[in-house]
């Protein structure tokens, strides 16, 4: 096999994530350490540009191992940019910030890791518990800042289960820490997509409308044709499933 012929592996969070992650990790480990050559080999299929969070996260682990701490933090932040809910990178950032005595920042990242690791989806509950002994979860961070009243409109629009409301609150937590406006809008779109998957098209429709309003208010987002197309298509799909009469028209593909 030539270098670069290997297809990039895709990882989705689910019941088997810890096992899948350990497999990915084992591919870049040699003699008990992260191996630069193996990481490069895994990066070649995408020309060194991370397209999913796991590889970016593993690069962060490598740089931390080599005591290149700033590079490690940049890699973990890149993993979070690719997937704001990727708990392992939030956890590693919490460790890094705690080492730098930034307990406020560490508490914020630990809070996100805690909530994103719902039902120990990433298999990092023990590490979160260990760090929480040194960095208490902030009473001002995460889900604690959101009140049940904030979701009254959602409850009125659809009969959402406590679990569905908890997932939405979790995604709102993620959104509150995302700086880039387009990424914030993508989180709102993902909330709608989750509700569609949960057979709640009316509530999903309201989230896609919210995403559209936020696009209209953000110049950078308005120029992002793929994002606009995605939200409009999802809005139409939700309207179809909710059997809404005033279904929005699909947008013609934009031109650069």
d(CA 211, CA 209): 5
Q: What's the token pair of residue 108? A: 């914020």
Q: Which residues contact 64 (CB under 8 A, 6 or more apart)?
A: 72, 92, 96
Q: What's the token pair of residue 243? A: 């059997």
Residue 157 vs residue 208, higher pLDDT: 208
User: What is the tens place of the pLDDT at every residue in 185-216?
Assistant: 998 999 999 898 888 998 899 999 999 989 88
Q: What's the token pair of residue 200? A: 């709640």
DSSP string, 46-104: GTT---SHHHHHHHHHHHHHTT-HHHHHHHHHHHHHH-TT-HHHHHHHHHHHHHTT-HH
The 3-state DSSP class for residue 34 equals strand
Residues facing 29 on adjacent strands: 34
Residues facing 252 on adjacent strands: none
In the chain, the domains with their CATH numbers are 17-132 (1.25.40.10), 149-241 (no CATH)
pTM over 0.85: no
Among 106, 156, 159, smallest CA distance to 132 is for: 106
User: What is the tens place of the pLDDT at every residue in 24-48?
Assistant: 899 999 999 999 999 999 898 877 6
CA angle, residues 16, 161, 107, in degrees to nearest 5: 60
User: What is the tens place of the pLDDT at every residue in 106-122?
Assistant: 988 888 888 777 777 78
Give the pLDDT confidence score for residue 137 in this predicted structure.
66
Confidence of residue 253 (pLDDT cuts 50, 70, 90): very low
Q: Which residues contact 169 (CB under 8 A, 6 or more apart)?
A: 143, 146, 151
């Amino acid at each position: 096999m030539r270098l670069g012929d290997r297809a990039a592996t895709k990882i989705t969070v689910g019941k088997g994530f810890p096992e899948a992650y350990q497999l990915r990790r084992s591919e870049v480990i040699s003699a008990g350490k992260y191996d630069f050559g193996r990481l490069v080999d895994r990066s070649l299929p995408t020309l060194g540009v991370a397209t999913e969070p796991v590889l970016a996260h593993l690069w962060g682990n490598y740089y931390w191992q080599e005591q290149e701490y700033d590079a490690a933090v940049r890699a973990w932040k890149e993993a979070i940019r690719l997937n704001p809910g990727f708990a392992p990178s939030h956890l590693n950032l919490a460790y890094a910030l705690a080492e730098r005595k930034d307990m406020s920042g560490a508490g914020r990242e630990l809070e996100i890791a805690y909530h994103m690791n719902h039902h120990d989806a990433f298999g990092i509950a023990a590490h979160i518990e260990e760090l929480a002994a040194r960095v208490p979860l902030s009473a001002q961070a995460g889900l604690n800042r959101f009140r049940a009243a904030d979701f009254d409109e959602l409850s009125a629009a659809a009969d959402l289960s406590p679990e569905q409301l908890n997932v939405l609150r979790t995604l709102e937590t993620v959104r509150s820490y995302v700086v880039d406006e387009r990424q914030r809008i993508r989180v709102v779109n993902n909330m709608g997509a989750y509700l569609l998957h949960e057979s709640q098209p009316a509530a999903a429709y309201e989230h896609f409308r919210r995403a559209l309003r936020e696009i209209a208010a953000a110049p950078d987002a308005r120029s992002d044709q793929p994002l606009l197309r995605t939200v409009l298509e999802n809005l139409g799909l939700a309207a179809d499933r909710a059997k809404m009469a005033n279904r929005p028209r699909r947008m013609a593909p934009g031109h650069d």
